[in-house]
């Protein structure tokens, strides 16, 4: 359950790392902060990856590169325009 202080973040990137983990990145609408989540490919189910999440501000990292901020902002805006937060992606 989301608290009043939680921040809505939108899925902006999905990838894999060398440990066979799925890496999901959710960014704030302005692209300035990102929430990173790693999931084992075997543990992921259809309801795990949603268009948006509400997370504690303590779990967000700053995005320092301007080009990455702009890309995250564009993708977060697109996701918010095209999906409801609970949509499975």
Q: Report if residue 75 sits inside a domain.
A: yes
Residue-level pLDDT at 7: 97
Cα–Cα nearest to 73, from 38, 36, 31: 31
Per-residue pLDDT of the chain (89 residues; tens, 9 = 90+): 566 799 999 999 999 887 788 899 999 999 999 999 988 877 766 557 899 999 999 999 999 999 999 999 999 999 999 999 999 88
Residue-level pLDDT at 46: 54
State the Cα–Cα distance between residues 33 and 64, nearest whole angstrom: 9
Overall number of domains in the chain: 1
Q: Which two tokens stand for residue 45?
A: 């189910």
Q: Report if residue 60 sits inside a domain.
A: yes
What is the pTM (predicted TM-score) of this model? Answer: 0.88
Residue-level pLDDT at 19: 79
Structural domain boundaries, residue 57: 7-82
Residue-level pLDDT at 16: 86
Q: Report if residue 89 sits inside a domain.
A: no
């Amino acid at each position: 359950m989301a608290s009043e202080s939680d921040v809505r973040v939108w899925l902006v990137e999905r990838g894999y790392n060398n440990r066979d983990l799925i890496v999901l990145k959710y960014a704030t609408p302005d692209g300035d902060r990102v929430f990173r989540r790693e999931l084992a490919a075997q543990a992921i189910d259809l309801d795990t990856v949603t268009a948006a999440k509400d997370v504690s501000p303590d779990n967000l990292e700053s995005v320092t590169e301007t080009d990455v901020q702009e890309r995250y902002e564009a993708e977060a805006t697109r996701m918010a325009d095209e999906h409801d937060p609970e949509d499975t992606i």
